[in-house]
Amino acid sequence: MGLVVEAVELRGVALPLRRPFRASYGTETARRSLLIRVITADGDGWGECVALSEPLYSPEYVDGATAVIRDHLLPRLWSAGAITAGGVAPALAAVRGHPMAKSAVEMAVLDAELQRSGRSLASHLGADRTLVPAGVSVGMAPVAQLLDAVAGYVDAGYRRVKLKIGPGSDIEPVRAVRERFGNELLLQVDANGAYRLTDADSLAALDDWGLLMIEQPLAEDDLLGHAELARRLRTPICLDESITSARAAATAITLGACRVVNIKPGRVGGYLEAQRVHDVCVESGVAAWCGGMLETGIGRAANLALAALPGFTLPGDVSPPDDYLAEDLTPPLVLNEGCLTVPSGPGIGVPILADVVQRFTTSVELVRAPERRVGAGA
């Protein structure tokens, strides 16, 4: 039985970061985020839009996602009448693109639906673990500062470290980390599409450092370039931004463009599509892991549920949010011997700290469903 969504709250929040996060697509100095709360007669559900402040990582950004949800997605949600989480993507399909905005809406409906049934998101998706090994992503920094950061993460017990790289900032940081921490450290790099195929010889120099993978070296639409690069490198290529759906994953794998897939729910349009991408990877024998986007505890708890699926064979970017947020919107997700516990409560599995949410709120807009005629809806 579907939910009748009576209203949706669009809430902007801004949370201070412990330190600026630098990557090839720009620098985040504070985490502006959009929270979605769907209000139904059976209870509320929460979602989080993972778009960044500016359209640098992807075309989506926080203010744009807010407008798309309010002006284009919610009218279609109302038109669908009583709806299940599985029906959200079809209901919103007429709107081209905007997967992060769509994912946030689906997540909120999914949370409300699972809260009503008393079932956890992990159970709903098919998780088979209660603990998830955690990896961490380290932004670009001067080498001395980078080594200090990696040392802190190694001491904290993280199972894998990822370094952000770009042209002119690749071999030196990798060499420094390897020489300091040895080959026992699971180490990978992420370029966020900063290279071109003409940089293949430079990227091949990374083969000497025993990396777990090179993530998204080329532009997101260059699958053929990635396939050619894969033939020229020993280090496995992982695709991130190129994987926008289960279909895109199947195409990339068939072309030989990757041996590893980073699955981000926001990038593929929601947790249900992320589950389908996972299934494609399992069927194809390709390794997968769960990526992150500087989520608050709301989004990170949901990511842990996804990361507990059996096909996620590598540590993901699921560090506790208090690694990068000075204060979080949920109780802390605690790292213990390099792992995080998968939330087991109903829905996303963690409580929302209403007082903290209120303190960091920058805007609130309540959008009510239009009055339905008698007999309308399912």
User: Is 102 known to be catalytic?
Assistant: no
Residue 332 DSSP SS3: coil
Whether the Cβ atoms of residue 361 and residue 11 lie closer than 8 Å to each other: yes
User: d(Cα 124, Cα 371) in Å, to the nearest integer?
Assistant: 32
User: d(Cα 81, Cα 271) in Å, to the nearest integer?
Assistant: 22
User: d(Cα 82, Cα 70) in Å, to the nearest integer?
Assistant: 19
Would you mind telling me the total number of residues written for the chain in this entry? 378
Block residue for tokens 């769960």: 290
Going by their DSSP bridges, the two strands 26-40 and 43-49 should be labelled as antiparallel
Q: Catalytic residue among 162, 164, 267, 278, which? A: 164
Residue 223 DSSP SS3: helix
Residues in Cβ contact with 250 at an 8 Å cutoff, skipping those fewer than 6 apart: 280, 284
Return the exposure string of 108-136: e unless at least 16 CB atoms fall within 10 Å of the residue's CB, then b: bbbbbbbbbeeebbbebbebebeebbbbb
Q: At 50, which amino acid appears? A: V
Taken in order 354, 355, 356, 359, is the CA torsion positive or negative?
A: positive
Q: Catalytic residue among 264, 267, 278, 300, which? A: 264
User: Is 264 known to be catalytic?
Assistant: yes
Residues in Cβ contact with 12 at an 8 Å cutoff, skipping those fewer than 6 apart: 32, 33, 34, 35, 62, 66, 361, 362, 363, 364
DSSP 8-state secondary structure symbol assigned to residue 290: E
Q: Which helix (H) or strand (E) holds 208?
A: none
Going by their DSSP bridges, the two strands 237-239 and 214-215 should be labelled as parallel
- Catalytically active residues are 164, 264
